[in-house]
């Protein structure tokens, strides 16, 4: 098939939905399909720096990505996504759809303007939509009032988790097929003989819980001597956070925005991954990524993480509790034999449930159903 994947966010700034779409496209191409992604792009320059107070990736676009316009930062659901809202993007989407003649359109977060709404408006082929968000989703009410009628054009609805399905169905009742996020599975991952490091992967959004980890870190570092490797956190925002919190920086390495290869390497070398989010997570993507690398995790006990975690691979702790977080990380690092067993259980769980090739097969079945 010829598949158009529509993402309302910018390729230039890392995020779970953007990464999901890129891996989805790659997995579908491995199955023989022609796939193109329609999403935002913010080229380097003063205007981009003015619009975006954090660093991103601004190099040449990978093959198969069709840019539809610049993005702006819009606070939503406890996060700061980079959404394409330019009115010009609407005409671009129409021209792209007329030119490409896709067999099926797959829109991520379909109620998000302007790219997804335009694609659903102008598409002349079956439409599949995936809902990622979990929470109150207060913005969905006004959106439903203005363009909710367009959602009747969607032929199949997918949610990445039962929590995402429940959140979406409050505004858009219907049948949702749960197909989780996929993760890259390294060919080899040994939980033994790791560097004495702890990893954190996440943007500097309030809901990701980085301040909780930084508050807990001095106790962890003092008890274990481990180093903390921060990925995805903009160095400037980290400095501003330090200026406000005055936490002890001993043993902390700020890696900033990193590539998939660096992230996989860091997960594969760390002894434990920490994901202290406060809530609003529909799916524990970072948790699953660590699992794929045979890395056990300490994570907040929130629904999106509890649905991914297993007792054999993950320690769940009360959100917003630095002392409980520190105690759990210290406990995991204190027993190497048990930690290695947790890592093996984590990788087995990821292989069985989150491998992208299997996720792509399930998506392909959905495309066949709507185009039959």
Per-residue pLDDT band for 14 (boundaries 50, 70, 90) equals: confident
Structural domains of the chain sorted by starting position, each given as residue range(s) with its CATH number in brackets: 2-182+355-371 (3.40.50.2000), 197-353 (3.40.50.2000)
DSSP state of 150: G
pLDDT of residue 305: 94
The pair of structure tokens assigned to 325 is 């977080």
Q: Cβ atoms within 10 A of the Cβ of 48, count?
A: 17
- Angle subtended at Cα 22 by Cα 132 and Cα 155, rounded to the nearest 5 degrees: 50
DSSP codes, 207-258: GG-HHHHHHHHHHHHHHH--EEEEES--HHHHHHHHHHH----TTEEEEES-
CA atoms of 327 and 298, how far apart (whole Å): 10
**Tokens 């159903």, residue located:** 369
Note if the bond before 331 is cis, omega within 30 degrees: no
Question: Is the predicted pLDDT of residue 128 greater than 90, yes or no?
Answer: yes
| Average pLDDT over the chain, rounded to an integer | 94
CA atoms of 16 and 160, how far apart (whole Å): 11
**Tens-digit pLDDT profile for residues 179-218:** 999 998 999 999 999 999 999 998 777 889 999 999 999 9
Q: Cβ atoms within 10 A of the Cβ of 196, count?
A: 13
End-to-end CA distance of the chain: 12
**Tens-digit pLDDT profile for residues 81-114:** 899 999 999 999 999 999 999 999 999 999 999 9
CA atoms of 268 and 289, how far apart (whole Å): 10
Per-residue pLDDT band for 78 (boundaries 50, 70, 90) equals: low
The pair of structure tokens assigned to 128 is 């599949």
**Tens-digit pLDDT profile for residues 111-126:** 999 999 999 999 999 9
**Tens-digit pLDDT profile for residues 265-289:** 999 999 999 999 998 888 999 999 9
Angle formed by the axes of helices 210-224 and 235-245, to 10°?
A: 80
Question: Is the predicted pLDDT of residue 77 greater than 70, yes or no?
Answer: no
pLDDT of residue 237: 84
- Specify burial of residue 157 (Cβ count, 10 A radius: 0-12, 13-18, 19+): buried
What is the pTM (predicted TM-score) of this model? 0.85
CA atoms of 364 and 6, how far apart (whole Å): 16
């Amino acid at each position: 098939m010829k598949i158009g994947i529509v993402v309302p966010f910018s390729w230039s700034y890392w995020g779970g939905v953007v990464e999901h779409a890129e891996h989805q496209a790659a997995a579908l191409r491995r199955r023989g399909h022609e796939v193109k992604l329609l999403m935002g792009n913010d080229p380097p320059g003063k205007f981009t720096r003015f619009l975006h107070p954090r660093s991103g990736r601004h190099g040449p676009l990978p093959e198969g990505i069709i840019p539809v316009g610049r993005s702006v930062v819009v606070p939503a659901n406890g996060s700061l996504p980079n959404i394409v809202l330019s009115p010009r993007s609407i005409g671009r989407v129409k021209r792209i759809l007329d030119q490409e003649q896709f067999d099926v359109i797959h829109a991520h977060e379909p109620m998000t303007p302007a790219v997804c709404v335009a694609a659903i408006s102008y598409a002349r082929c079956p439409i599949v939509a995936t809902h990622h968000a979990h929470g109150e989703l207060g913005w969905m009410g006004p959106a439903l009032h203005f363009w909710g009628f367009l959602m009747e054009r969607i032929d199949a609805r997918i949610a990445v988790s039962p929590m995402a399905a429940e959140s979406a169905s409050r505004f858009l009742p219907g049948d949702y097929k749960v197909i989780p996020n996929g993760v890259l599975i390294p060919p080899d991952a040994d939980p033994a003989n790791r560097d004495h490091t702890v990893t954190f992967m996440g943007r500097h959004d309030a809901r990701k819980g980085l301040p909780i980890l930084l508050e807990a870190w001095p106790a962890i570092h003092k008890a274990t001597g481990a180093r903390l490797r921060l990925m995805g956190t903009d160095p400037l925002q980290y400095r501003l956070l330090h200026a406000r919190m005055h936490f002890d920086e001993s043993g902390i390495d700020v890696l900033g925005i990193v590539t998939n290869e660096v992230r996989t390497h860091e997960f594969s070398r760390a002894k434990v991954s920490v994901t202290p989010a406060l809530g609003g997570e529909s799916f524990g993507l970072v948790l699953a990524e660590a699992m794929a690398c045979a890395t056990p995790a300490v994570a907040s006990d929130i629904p999106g993480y509890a649905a991914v975690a297993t007792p054999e691979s993950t320690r769940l702790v009360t959100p917003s509790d630095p002392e409980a977080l520190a105690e759990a990380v210290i406990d995991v690092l204190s027993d190497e034999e048990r930690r290695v067993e947790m890592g093996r259980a984590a990788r087995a769980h990821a292989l069985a449930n989150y491998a992208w090739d299997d996720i792509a097969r399930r998506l392909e079945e959905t495309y066949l159903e709507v185009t039959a």
